[in-house]
Chain A
Amino acid sequence: MTQTKIDGRAKTREIKRKANLNLLERLYLPEIFKGLSITFRQIFKPKFTFEYPDVKWQPPASFRGRPVLVVDDETGVERCVACGLCARVCPALAIEVVADETELDKERYPKKFEINMLRCIYCGLCEEVCPEEAIVMSKEYELVFTSREEAIFGKDKLLTPASKLKDRLEFLRKMR
């Protein structure tokens, strides 16, 4: 059989096909019933789908959902010191950090921290590079926006108390 010229070069290649079907196969109907019986058997087996969105899947600690900023439980401020390493390592250039000075001991805090969720590819490199364990991947996987502006998450959406991220923080400590 001759393949059509896609890349401009003529190419001939044999396409191998199972030849000489037997009579039953050629009759078609037996095969149909075979397939239907497989489908039918599934009805009596246990279900493994969820009735989303009424029932929601709880991801394991290793799941990489949308990145969030950790707010320390004791101090009530974000751990982030705006060092910009997450922005530097981000392969999709999703993160922008603008730093400013604070009176706190950490000296530096993010005046602005924005993640463009249209750019984010959930690779988790920001979490891996963070020297303060300040940005971690949450379990959140439901992201809906209706405009480009909405897809840029500022500090208001990113700040999350550490108590809500216990699973992930423990997982990170274990994997270190």
Chain B
Amino acid sequence: MAKITIDGKTVEVKDGLTILQAAQEIGIDIPHFCYHPALSIAGNCRMCLVEVEKMPKLAIACATRVIDGMVVYTQSEKVKKARQAVLEFILINHPLDCPICDEAGECKLQNYTYIYGPGHSRFEEEKAHKPKRVPLGPNIVLDVERCIMCSRCVRFFDEIVKDPQLTFTQRGDRVVLTTFPGKRVDNPYSMNIIDICPVGALTSKDFRFKERTWNMTAVESVCPGCARGCNVYLWVRNNQILRITPRVNLEVNRYWMCDYGRFTYKPVNSDDRIKNPMIKVNGELVETDWEIAVETAASILKSVKPDEVAVLGSAYATNEDNYLLQKFAKSVLKTKYVDFLRHVKDGDEDNFLIRADKTPNSYGAYLVGVRSNNGFGFNEIVEGLRTKKFKVVYVMDDDIVLNDEIYSLLDEVKVIVHATNKNKTVEKADVVFASASFAEKEGTFTNFEGRVQKINIAVLPKDYEPWMLYKPRKFGEVKPNTGEINKANLALSRLFKFGTQFDRWASGERRNVKPSWWVIMQVANKLGAKFTYASSSDVFKEISETIREFKGLSYDLIGDEGAMINKN
């Protein structure tokens, strides 16, 4: 342990830490560009200069290790002047692009210039001109003029994904960030460099110019792209998700997520969403209201005997949905045929984040009881369909039509389905419940390791108002333990908050969708059950009381970081 004094605060820190890390531990933010907690130390931006007693010159805080008895000043006159000089130097060739730059609002250079900068420029000459709008690969656009050569992106490819794809060429003010000759940036994790770029040099092709950062509300959620369950922010404007960025969780995804995961918002916004519940009238699906849809489903289920109905849960649905479905199947429908489909793409995984299991909650669905007991699983259900054993198939949030045979077999039975988007199973359905997507409901996913993580409402369904969900957030608050600007604390988009029905910018589509647990509760109660859950947390409370693995867990305990299930 080393005892050091930073700005008059004496603190004992571990040996081997740098001054910057020690300062962050006690909540002092030292400005920096090239330092990133997950990357090696480059020490090239010189922004983190601090004054250390008995050192002849200023030292860079990111690369100077703490020594017992060290006395550090981060706010002295000398340091302030050095910071102004560094910023002035970086800004010499940095274009005044802020009005058109996507990074504006979450730009480290912009923020630091505002906080520490000299406020004016003495540079009257022509700025260096370099290539702009360079497509680096399928997802990334590079603006070399804006680059401040921090080399974070280069180090990311070298160290994190171990697939070098970027490098600097030339020197001095002519230095250019570029790919190797004839190569493209196409690594499955490439878009992380957009997030770690401290300026707007690397921008997303998908998100380019879509919206200014301060107009969006960021909501904590979990990526539904695979069983890893990367922690993410969903960025919402006018009730539409515009982008997904990773949220730091050192236990799950650290600072990263894959490119595939960033596009998992597309189905939520897509045109093939089911916006209202539907029932089949004269062979065609027509939109109706919830009352009638639930009534129709109940009348179909009323006439069947136990074991004449097959129930399929989903690895895409939450723990709560799956729990209530299996409870409904076992106690109300009294069927043994309960299972869910696994969507495993063998070989499509790596040892970093991407998992072969392409669903977010297959472990959770299994744990809460959606599983086949001794030969009553999916294969037996298909076999049962062949032998015309079943009268009704109840499918929640999944597409069970894996091949043409199942497609035609579904003609023989009544099909009740919960679905977010149109699919093959929906085509065969007699009742379709418009299901809330992962962005439209509250609930929990259990990832492959058994970590229970919470998803939140980001896109408002019809029966929700903004004030029911959002807590006030502070602008640009710095998370002391990472030094990165905590994007979730951006101010709640005021356009969203103050919009009225007469404002076009607040008239984003609200779909008449419901979480599956609510629908199951309605149907079950029509069939004589007495389910009284007011919210998904009520369902989760019951899970934590009845399922051994979930004992002791609660939404409060899960929080933003998630919590492990009891494995023993």
Question: What 0/1 pattern do residues 182 to 214 of B give for CB contact below 8 A with A?
Answer: 000000000000000000000000001111101
Contacts of A83 in B (CB 8 A): 98-100, 104, 212
Contact A81 B498 (CB under 8 A): no
Q: Is B478 on the interface with A (CB-CB < 8 A)?
A: no
- Specify which of B132, B208, B214, B215 is in contact with A101 (CB 8 Å cutoff): B208
Contact B133 A107 (CB under 8 A): yes
Q: Is A30 on the interface with B (CB-CB < 8 A)?
A: no
Contacts of B505 in A (CB 8 A): 96
Contact A107 B100 (CB under 8 A): yes
**CB of A62 to closest CB in B, whole Å:** 26
Q: How far is the CA of A143 from the CA of B110 in the complex (A)?
A: 39
Contact B502 A82 (CB under 8 A): no
- Specify which of A99, A116, A131 is in contact with B209 (CB 8 Å cutoff): A99
- Specify which of B99, B215, B502, B504 is in contact with A132 (CB 8 Å cutoff): B99
Contact B99 A101 (CB under 8 A): no
Interface residues in B, total, Cβ within 8 A: 21
Using C-beta atoms within 8 Å of the partner chain, give the interface range for chain A: 20 to 34
Contacts of B553 in A (CB 8 A): none
Question: What 0/1 pattern do residues 92 to 107 of B give for CB contact below 8 A with A?
Answer: 0000001110001000
**CB of A174 to closest CB in B, whole Å:** 22
Most A CB contacts (10 A, CB to CB) among B208, B209, B215, B499 go to B209
Q: Is A106 on the interface with B (CB-CB < 8 A)?
A: yes
Contacts of A165 in B (CB 8 A): none
Contact B498 A84 (CB under 8 A): no
Q: Is B90 on the interface with A (CB-CB < 8 A)?
A: no
Given A82-B209, A106-B100; A148-B133 close (CB under 8 Å): no
Q: How far is the CA of A93 from the CA of B506 in the complex (A)?
A: 11
Given A88-B214, A93-B494; A81-B503 close (CB under 8 Å): no
Q: Is B495 on the interface with A (CB-CB < 8 A)?
A: yes
**CB of A141 to closest CB in B, whole Å:** 23
**CB of B142 to closest CB in A, whole Å:** 13
Contacts of A101 in B (CB 8 A): 208-209
**CB of A80 to closest CB in B, whole Å:** 10
Q: How far is the CA of A132 from the CA of B96 in the complex (A)?
A: 12
- Specify which of B99, B104, B214, B503 is in contact with A116 (CB 8 Å cutoff): B503
Q: Is A108 on the interface with B (CB-CB < 8 A)?
A: yes
Contact B212 A84 (CB under 8 A): yes
Q: Is A123 on the interface with B (CB-CB < 8 A)?
A: no
Contact A108 B100 (CB under 8 A): yes
Q: Is A167 on the interface with B (CB-CB < 8 A)?
A: no
- Specify which of A85, A93, A96, A152 is in contact with B99 (CB 8 Å cutoff): A85
**CB of B493 to closest CB in A, whole Å:** 11
Contacts of B495 in A (CB 8 A): 87, 93, 96
Question: What 0/1 pattern do residues 254 to 277 of B give for CB contact below 8 A with A?
Answer: 000000000000000000000000
Q: Is A31 on the interface with B (CB-CB < 8 A)?
A: no
Contact B99 A81 (CB under 8 A): yes
**CB of B146 to closest CB in A, whole Å:** 12
Given A82-B209, A84-B212, A100-B209; A93-B100 close (CB under 8 Å): no
Question: What 0/1 pattern do residues 131 to 168 of A give for CB contact below 8 A with B?
Answer: 11000000000000000100010000000000000000
- Specify which of B100, B132, B133, B504 is in contact with A81 (CB 8 Å cutoff): B100
| Interface of chain B residues 492 through 535 with chain A (CB within 8 A) | 494-495, 498-499, 502-505
Contacts of A96 in B (CB 8 A): 495, 503-505
| Interface of chain A residues 67 through 101 with chain B (CB within 8 A) | 81-85, 87-88, 93, 96, 99-101
- The 9 lowest CB-CB distance pairs between A and B, nearest first, are A83-B99, A108-B100, A96-B505, A84-B212, A99-B209, A131-B99, A81-B100, A81-B99, A107-B100
In the complex, 22 of the A-B residue pairs with CB atoms within 8 angstroms, ordered by the A residue number, are: A81-B99, A82-B100, A82-B209, A83-B98, A83-B99, A83-B104, A84-B212, A84-B215, A85-B99, A87-B495, A88-B212, A88-B215, A93-B495, A93-B498, A96-B504, A96-B505, A100-B209, A101-B208, A101-B209, A107-B100, A108-B209, A114-B504
Given contacts A88-B212, A107-B132, A114-B504, 6 further A-B contacts (CB under 8 A): A82-B100, A82-B209, A93-B495, A96-B503, A108-B209, A132-B99
